[in-house]
């Protein structure tokens, strides 16, 4: 499924360390992605998944390690250059009053505009294409405050697409969505990867990760512990050691499921 | 209700903004004409227009308009626009609907600077605008130095808390000075209550560069502020540094508010209320709309209020603050009632 790997990966990060207020959050994390690849970053709460993708995106300063975008060191990139490399889609953005979808997506294009310069034809084309691809044209004139969670997530992805970057990074885009909306977002992201985009996805839902990702990167206690085909690496043993849960992933007819022992076996309940 | 204010249901977004612009421009033009025509001597509107167009006008009307009313109207226009813009960019940058030039310490500093000149150097009253400007910017600089250092630099909470602390400090200084020299208090009241004077072009001559710098900076901040409205993460994704956008907005607002205080004393209310009024009227919190519309709305309100303040009990001049409230509050409350 993945495209031909180039000599220089689009994103290569190694030995990344991040401290927040003196507490080490990342203690040695590696991450790589190339065009056409959908990589899922998975791990328990507090393991450092979001911190990892924020650090490589330039949203979170790191204390040690190396991050390169298309071979160029992150620290050496100006904001405008970085904005042409990757788009970061937060879990949920604030919703300013009275702003309609089309305006919000237009803001996503602003990294391509010179200060005070108006939109060019090329920019309008990119905005329309981003809205069409993310499936938001139907409600393009509606105010953000009237959208459902799934619709708003699509708008956020459209904002990222308007940036026209080779890499799209989405931080838990489905965790607040209902089933149908989550399926829609998963399909959209998989489709974007199939069209050649590199998609980096932070996700809690392991069944979703197994279904859509080419590769999973498991983060545990600030370290990337294993990376590979999600169906192969997310074993029952790993779910036990990293998530401390008795669980197993299964895939039948393209449907994936996570089977969890919610209560201790032998019918013994906690007193 | 979001931190960026409120929107009214009703007319579609596409029509609301042109209508709001039209209404604001009409109000501004009406206020400008009224301010030039009305006063101790009433000048017919046709004569006002002739003077502005440079046509021959008989009698003293030309002199009254050109040397007394025009400079004062231009001052009111600049101060009103400056405070409207300062409020709009601060509320946007700090994502806080209660932000105004007060919260970055400017007003407190300017008040202290002016009272210092009035009390300690009564012979050099011409220094008052510069004293207000200097201390207004000094107070803002202290706020920035504290809020943009250490952990979480430039966070909204840090800026607002530092601003309120510095405001209290300078207000205490002002109150202390007035208590120590009670006999000088009456001459300070006009500055504290806020008001314009008919002193010609002199004040604007030394203050205009600060207005100009503030307005130009605000123009460049419109697009970054729209990014910031979608959150720090989206702004960062687009290559901006959120704390630098906030610093830029705070510096621009400090320049505009300090220059305003230098010309017209402490005019509260306008910077806080005009951006909300504009957002509610236009049904949008997009800065592409709110910043220019706040400039027009602020200018219209202050020019109109100043005209009332100097004509209602002529020849006695009243402070402009209360009249701004009389004109602005009913409109504000009417719009607030219709908010979703």
Measured between beta carbons, the chain A residues lying within 8 angstroms of B219 are: 116
Tell whether A173 and A222 lie within a shared domain.
yes
* Segment B23-61, tens digit of pLDDT: 999 999 999 999 999 887 888 888 888 888 888 777 788
Question: Quick check: is A178 in a domain?
Answer: yes
Cβ contact B259:B167 at 8 Å: no
Among B230, B287, B289, the residue to mutate for chain A (most A Cβ within 10 A): B230
Task: Give chain B's length.
Answer: 340
Nearest to B237 among A87, A143, A145 (CB): A87
Calculate how close chain A gets to B1, using CA atoms only, in Å: 8
Residue A153 lies in a domain: yes
Question: Does A150 lie in the same domain as A76?
Answer: no
Same-domain check for residues A77 and A169: yes
Residue A264 domain-assigned (yes or no): no
A5 pLDDT more than 80: no
**Alpha-carbon distance A243 to nearest alpha carbon in chain B (angstroms):** 28
Same-domain check for residues A169 and A153? no
* Residue B340 reports pLDDT greater than 70: no
Residue B1 lies in a domain: no
B269 φ, ψ to 5°?
Answer: 70, -55
Whether B95 is covered by a domain: the verdict is yes
DSSP string, A81-142: HHTTTEEEE-SS----TT-BHHHHHHHTTGGGSPTTPPPPHHHHHHHHHHHHHHT-GGGTTS
Q: What is the mean pLDDT of chain A?
A: 93
Whole-number percent of chain A with pLDDT over 70: 96
Highest mean pLDDT of the ranges B73-77, B94-98, B141-145, B327-331:
B73-77
Domain count, chain A: 2
- Which residues on adjacent β-strands are paired with residue A256? A251
What mean pLDDT value characterizes chain B? Answer: 86
Residue B203: what pLDDT? 81
Residue B270 within any structural domain of the chain: yes
Of A80, A96, A141, nearest to B239 by CB-CB distance is A80
Query: Which tens digit of pLDDT belongs to each residue from A29-60?
Result: 999 999 999 999 999 999 999 999 999 999 99
Q: Are residues A109 and A199 in the same domain?
A: no
SS (H, E, C) B258-314: HHHHHHHCCCCCHHHHHHHHHHHHHCCCCHHHHHHHHHHHHHHHHHHHHHHHHHCCC
Residue A191: CATH number of its domain: 3.40.50.300
* pLDDT single digits (tens) B228-265: 999 999 999 999 999 899 989 989 999 999 899 888 88
Q: Domain residues for A58?
A: 1-85+165-235
Q: Cβ-count burial of B109 within 10 angstroms (0-12 exposed, 13-18 middle, 19+ buried)? A: buried
Please check whether residues A5 and A116 belong to one and the same domain: no
Half-sphere exposure of A78 (CA within 13 A, CB side): 3
Tokens of B338: 């219709």
What CA–CA distance (Å, rounded) separates B253 from B262? 14
- Contact criterion met (CB < 8 Å) for A57 and B1: no
In this complex, is the C-beta atom of B2 within 8 Å of any C-beta atom belonging to chain A? Answer: yes
Residues A186 and A220 in one domain: yes
Nearest CB to B236 within list A88, A108, A115:
A88
- Chain B environment of A104 (Cβ under 8 Å): 230
* Interface touch A97/B6, C-beta < 8 Å: yes
Q: Name the most confidently modeled range: B154-163, B194-203, B212-221.
A: B212-221
Under 8 Å between Cβ of B303 and B73? yes
pLDDT higher than 70, residue A168 = yes
Q: The domain containing residue B93 runs over which residues? A: 13-338
Closest chain A residue by Cα to residue B13: A98
Q: Are residues A169 and A80 in the same domain?
A: yes
The residue of A83, A99, A109 whose CB has the most chain B CBs within 10 angstroms, and thus the best one to mutate to test that interface, is A99
- List the CATH number of the domain containing B103: 1.10.3470.10
Supply φ then ψ for residue A34, to 5 degrees.
-135, 170
**CB neighbour list of residue B220: distance below 8 Å, 6 or more residues apart:** A115, A116, B248
Q: For the whole model, what pTM was predicted?
A: 0.88
């Amino acid at each position: 499924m993945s495209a031909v790997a180039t000599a220089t990966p689009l994103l290569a990060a190694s030995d990344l360390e991040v401290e927040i207020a003196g507490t080490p959050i990342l203690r040695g994390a590696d991450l790589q992605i190339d065009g056409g690849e959908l990589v899922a970053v998975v791990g328990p709460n507090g393991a450092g998944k979001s911190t990892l993708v924020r650090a490589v995106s330039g949203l979170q300063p790191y204390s040690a390690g190396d991050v390169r975008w298309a071979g160029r060191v992150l620290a050496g990139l100006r904001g405008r250059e970085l904005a042409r490399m990757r788009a970061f889609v937060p879990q949920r953005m604030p919703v300013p009053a009275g702003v309609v979808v089309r305006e919000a997506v237009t803001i996503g294009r602003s990294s391509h505009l010179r200060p005070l310069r108006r939109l060019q034809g090329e920019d309008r084309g990119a905005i329309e294409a981003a809205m069409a691809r993310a499936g938001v044209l139907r409600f393009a004139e509606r105010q953000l405050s009237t959208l459902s969670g799934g619709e708003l997530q699509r708008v956020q992805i459209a904002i990222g697409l308007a940036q026209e970057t080779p890499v799209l990074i989405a931080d838990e885009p489905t965790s607040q969505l209902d089933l149908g909306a989550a399926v829609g977002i998963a399909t959209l992201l998989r489709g974007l990867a199939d069209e050649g985009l590199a998609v980096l996805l932070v996700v809690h839902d392991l069944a979703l990760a197994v279904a859509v990702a080419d590769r999973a990167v498991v983060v545990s206690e600030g370290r990337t512990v294993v990376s590979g085909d999600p169906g192969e690496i997310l074993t029952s043993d790993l779910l036990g050691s990293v998530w401390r849960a008795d669980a197993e992933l299964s895939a039948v007819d393209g449907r994936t499921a996570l089977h969890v022992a919610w209560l201790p076996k032998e019918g013994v309940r906690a007193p | 209700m979001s931190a960026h204010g409120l929107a009214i249901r009703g007319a579609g977004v596409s029509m609301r903004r042109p209508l709001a612009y039209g209404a604001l421009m009409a109000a501004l033009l009406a206020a400008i004409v009224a301010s030039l025509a009305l006063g101790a001597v009433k000048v017919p509107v046709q004569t006002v227009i002739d003077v502005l167009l440079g046509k021959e006008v008989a009698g003293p009307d030309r002199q009254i308009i050109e040397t007394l009313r025009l400079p004062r109207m231009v001052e009111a226009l600049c101060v009103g626009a400056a405070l409207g813009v300062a409020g709009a960019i601060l509320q946007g940058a700090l994502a806080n609907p209660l932000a105004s030039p007060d919260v970055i310490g400017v007003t407190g500093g300017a008040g202290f600077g002016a009272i210092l000149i009035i009390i300690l150097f009564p012979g050099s009253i011409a220094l008052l605008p510069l004293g207000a400007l200097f201390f207004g910017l000094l107070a803002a600089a202290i706020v920035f130095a504290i809020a943009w250092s250490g952990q979480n630099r430039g966070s909204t909470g840090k800026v607002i808390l530092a601003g309120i602390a510095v405001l209290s400090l300078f207000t205490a200084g002002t109150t202390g000075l007035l208590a120590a020299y009670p006999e000088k208090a009456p001459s300070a009241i006009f500055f504290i209550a806020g008001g314009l004077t008919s002193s010609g072009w002199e004040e604007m001559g030394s203050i205009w560069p600060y207005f100009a710098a503030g307005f130009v900076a605000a123009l460049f901040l419109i697009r970054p502020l729209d990014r910031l409205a979608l959150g720090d993460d989206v702004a960062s994704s687009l290559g901006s540094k959120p704390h630098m956008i906030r610093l830029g907005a705070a510096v621009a607002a400090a320049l505009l508010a300090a220059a305003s205080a230098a010309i017209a004393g402490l005019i509260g209310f306008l910077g806080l209320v005009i951006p909300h009024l504009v957002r509610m009227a236009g049904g949008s919190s997009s800065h592409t709309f709110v910043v220019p519309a706040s400039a027009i709305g602020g200018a219209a309100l202050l020019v109109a209020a100043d005209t009332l303040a100097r004509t209602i009990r002529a020849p006695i001049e009243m402070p402009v603050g209360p009249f701004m409230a009389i004109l602005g509050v009913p409109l504000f409350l009417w719009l607030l009632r219709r908010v979703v």
